Amino acid sequence: MRILITGITGRIGANLAAALLRDGHQVRGLVWARDSRVEKLGHLDVELLNGTITDPDDVKLAMEGSDAVYHLAAAFQGGGPFTESEYFEINVTGTFNMLEAARSSDTLKHFIMAGTDAVYGSLEGRPELIHEDRTPPSPEGWYGLSKLLADEMCVAYHRTYGMPVTVLRFGYCFGAGEFLDFKPFLLSNLRPDYPELQALWEGEERLVIRRDESGASFRMQIIDVRDQVQGCVTALEKAQSFGQRIQLAAPAPFSFDEAVPYLSERIGIPAISATVSGPPVNFGFDLGKAKRLIGFVPEYDIFRMIDDAVAFREGRELDVIPT
């Protein structure tokens, strides 16, 4: 298939391009001038076009002849910071331009948009698993709001025009080596937000097992870039996914009292335990729909992510393109 990727220079876009090429597809990427990190793509046989999703002519040219589209481009990190109007222009109007070009295409078989778990709003204090169809969206801030508008627009284009559109809601994603600097574990990062942690700072880094006032460990669910890419690839041409929102995430949530000691042992930074006030970080995702509709079975749990991050930092090769 001839496949267009917007946002190809990002962490997920570059790795998705490599995976699609391995599967025998032809890949074209749309490269935005404000995020033109094309050096990571130098070893890949991809066609690159310069342009922006906010220009309908650029979008139409990029879309021409494509059998499928992965619309990953968004105002998020690369090219930022962004104003409120830029979030709307890029994430909402840009997605509208993409959908309109797709609607007029004679060749397009599948349009896949990168959604986000930011549409659910705060991920604190959610003991029940989040489900894409049962958990109501409640975004906070312009990133989450703009992505929800794009999400709704994609599903509406399927309902209205019968377009083969799928929204894959991405989770908090990490690439090779990145997890070793996971800010929610680092005392240096946490102490400005928690008065309880200020007195624990002695000038050297520590990893923190945060607990709520009942003593329960914090809990969360993230995703390795390789699982995120696997979800993208397995979704391709799955007709049962058309018009659906599908959440991607790691195999299961992890608790801080399991992950922090393991990371501490692997990287040699001491771990401490601390009770903190405020809403606890506590969330996970129900992946039943992803498994049922697209056959998504993630492989990388928190321990595998830590092991592979250490291996990458030590210079061992992984089948992944760094950020």
* Nearest-angstrom CA–CA distance, 28 and 41: 11
The answer as to whether 261 is a domain residue is no
Please indicate, yes or no, if residue 91 is contained in any of the structural domains.
yes
In whole angstroms, what is the distance from residue 208 CA to residue 130 CA? 25
Residue 116 contacts residue 147 (beta carbons within 8 Å): yes
Query: Residue 322: what pLDDT?
Result: 67
Number of domains the chain is built from: 1
Residue 127 in domain: yes
Give the three-class secondary structure for 198.
helix
Q: Which residues contact 18 (CB under 8 A, 6 or more apart)?
A: 44, 321
Residues 6+ apart with CB under 8 A from 66: 2, 3, 4, 28, 105, 107, 108
State the amino acid at position 184 in one-letter form: P
pTM for this predicted structure = 0.95
3-state helix vs strand vs coil in the chain, percent to 5: 40, 20, 40
Specify whether the CB–CB gap between 69 and 112 falls below 8 A: yes
Examine residue 233 and state whether it is found in any structural domain, yes or no: yes
In a domain, 12, yes or no: yes
Distance, CA of 165 to CA of 245 (rounded, Å): 9
Amino acid at 132: E
Q: Domain for residue 28, yes or no?
A: yes
Classify residue 74: in a domain, yes or no.
yes
Q: Split the chain (323 residues) into runs of 10 and give each run's mean pLDDT.
A: 96 95 98 84 94 97 98 85 95 98 97 97 92 96 97 98 98 86 94 92 95 96 96 98 98 97 96 94 97 98 94 83 67
Stated as kind and residue range, the H or E segment containing 147 is helix 141-161
Find the CATH number of the domain harbouring 37. 3.40.50.720
Is residue 113 within 8 A of residue 95, CB to CB? The reply is yes
Domain that holds residue 25: 2-175+221-250+282-299
Alpha carbons 164 and 142: distance in angstroms, whole number: 27
Please indicate, yes or no, if residue 315 is contained in any of the structural domains.
Answer: no
How does DSSP classify residue 197? H
Distance in angstroms (rounded) separating the CA atoms of residues 80 and 310: 29
